[in-house]
Structure 1
Amino acid sequence: MKNSVLLLAFLISFVCTSIGWANKPVGTTLRASGATSVVRLDNIFSQRKDDPVFWQDTIKTGAASRMEIRFSDNTMLYLGDHSSLQIDELVYQPNKPGKAFFTLSQGVFRMVSGALNKMDGSTFTLQTPLATIGIRGTDFWGHQTADKLTMALLDDGELRITSGKETIVLTNPLEAVVIEKGKNTVNVFTLTPEQVAQAKKTIE
């Protein structure tokens, strides 16, 4: 009987701790204009400036919309029109290896890495319909449409992009790649200043 009581107390403590961890915000919305929302526990909520962002939220924007989010490790996320990104996992504690996994279903974004991505042993992954991107300490931009993914490295760091059996690694600032559905050939090219300015306008 005593063992059963101790087990029950342990389970209650574990569940409460898990719920508390799951309900802890992982980020804050710094900017929200136009049609901005989150899907949370199958419910849709309008998302405005200063609203928190939670683990497993799906962040969405509509036409002529922008959103800017700062995560707990100071990673910055900027979303443009018609975008949908889910926070699958974000585990961060200062000075300890962490893990982040996001899924971009569609849209345009820019991300600037924070402390988690610069810590040895941490992993940061972005999944899209056409590729899996491993991220290491950088500023990068991307655009996912129904049949094409464009990824560009804007600063120092590394993007390891795996699509099918092919892996492309971007390590030089302004390197970019376009991956098209059904096509195997992938070429790396360098963005022109005009292309960089055009990309940044999509999320400003």
Structure 2
Amino acid sequence: MRARLPVSLLAVLLAAQAWTAPTVVSAVNMPAWIEHGGQRGPLIPGTALQSGDVITTGAGARVLLTLPEGSQVKLGEQAVFRADNLGTSDGRQSPFQATLEVIKGAFRFTTALLAKPRQREVDVRIATVTAGIRGTDLWGKSDDEKDLVCLLEGRISVSHEGENGFHTLDEPLDFYVAPKGKPALPKAKVDAAKVVNEWAPQTEPQAGVARSDGRWRLIVAVVANQDEALRWYDGLREAGYAARIRPLSGGKYRVGLERLASEADARALGEKLKAELATPLVQVGPMGG
């Protein structure tokens, strides 16, 4: 007969399961890499992000992270992002706490409507500018010329490294800029058309996206021996593409990528790899098929 847990202990365990969750990589436009525990490899949709992990994106890349309390972080191409501290609370009974660093590139932090009432204490550092977030929608970027934060909805406090005090952005399209090596400028307004047409697309997923719930597969090579398969596999992964290798009958091997969001995304990624890395095939189909 199995021993039963005391009701009080069972309640604690169930509560812990119900109110904690990891930050998850929900979507990736490759190439992208993750550094974890001193190891570097391609970023795979569905990966649970941990404190200290560093994400780097390549040309044309995008990454979507889903936080446990319902917010999302979107990263653009040529970005470097570090999760200095990541909590696991879903924000219902206790605040979700995180410290995120955008070392380089564009990002967007958004909170879903149903998740807005949840508690969060998030600090996002964009190179020399830090934004304190309690539930909002903002866009930011660090490049060679400046560090920038723009409020799209809600309210945030911002501060600049080496300067005293902070500034409050509390109206849509308020933005705060710190030119490299110079004092930050007073907050100002940006034109909505610039946000919609120029800034926002820099962090939105593109054709060829892989998702944690993706069901399509792309085959880029079918080869006759293991060594050749491993050359394709290693080359793709080093280039930031989460390749998989599968044995086939007759001593052959298949190299491909999985979890593509749709047939169109699989074909778009296949054409990209064929053009950039000279992969021999573009064959797509549903996973398991």
Q: TM-score, normalised by structure 1?
A: 0.79
CA distance in structure 2 between the partners assigned to 1:128 and 1:117 by the alignment: 25
* Alpha-carbon distance change, 107 to 185 in structure 1, aligned in 2, over 3 angstroms: closer
CA distance in structure 1 between the partners assigned to 2:38 and 2:94 by the alignment: 32
Q: Aligned with 2:22: secondary structure? A: strand
CA distance in structure 2 between the partners assigned to 1:133 and 1:88 by the alignment: 15
CA distance in structure 1 between the partners assigned to 2:59 and 2:65 by the alignment: 18
The aligned counterpart of 1:138 is 136
The amino acid of 1:131's aligned partner reads: V
- Give matches, 1:145-184, under 5 Å: 145-166=143-164, 167-184=166-183
Contact 2:160 2:178 in 1 (8 A): no
CA distance in structure 2 between the partners assigned to 1:52 and 1:92 by the alignment: 11
Runs of 4 or more off by more than 4 Å in structure 1?
A: 114-118
The aligned counterpart of 2:86 is 90
Q: Aligned with 1:92: secondary structure? A: coil
Alpha-carbon deviation of 1:185? 4.9
- Give matches, 1:29-178, under 5 Å: 29-93=25-89, 94-113=92-111, 118-119=118-119, 122-166=120-164, 167-178=166-177
CA RMSD of aligned residues (A): 2.2
The amino acid of 1:77's aligned partner reads: V
Q: Which runs of 5+ in 1 are unaligned?
A: 1-23
The aligned counterpart of 1:202 is 202
CA distance in structure 2 between the partners assigned to 1:38 and 1:194 by the alignment: 34
The amino acid of 1:153's aligned partner reads: L
Alpha-carbon deviation of 1:116? 9.1
Q: Which has the higher contact order (CA 8 A, sep 6+)?
A: 2
Contact 1:153 1:159 in 2 (8 A): no
CA distance in structure 1 between the partners assigned to 2:97 and 2:122 by the alignment: 6
The aligned counterpart of 1:192 is 191
Residue number among 23, 44, 51 corresponding to 1:27 in the alignment: 23
The amino acid of 1:196's aligned partner reads: V
The aligned counterpart of 2:251 is none
Q: Which runs of 5+ in 2 are unaligned?
A: 1-19, 205-289
The amino acid of 2:66's aligned partner reads: R
Contact 2:86 2:99 in 1 (8 A): yes
Once the two structures are superposed, what CA deviation does each residue of 1:45-104 show, in whole Å capped at 9, x if it has no partner?
211322322222111111110111102222201000111111111223231134211111
CA distance in structure 2 between the partners assigned to 1:174 and 1:151 by the alignment: 10
* Alpha-carbon distance change, 109 to 178 in structure 1, aligned in 2, over 3 angstroms: same
CA distance in structure 1 between the partners assigned to 2:171 and 2:127 by the alignment: 25
* Alpha-carbon distance change, 131 to 145 in structure 1, aligned in 2, over 3 angstroms: same
Alpha-carbon deviation of 1:168? 2.1
Alpha-carbon deviation of 1:202? 0.5
Contact 2:23 2:88 in 1 (8 A): no
* Alpha-carbon distance change, 41 to 70 in structure 1, aligned in 2, over 3 angstroms: same
Q: TM-score, normalised by structure 2?
A: 0.57
Report the structure number with the largest CA radius of gyration. 2
Contact 1:153 1:175 in 2 (8 A): yes
Alpha-carbon deviation of 1:177? 1.5
Contact 1:38 1:60 in 2 (8 A): yes
Query: Which of the pair is proportionally richer in strand?
Result: 1
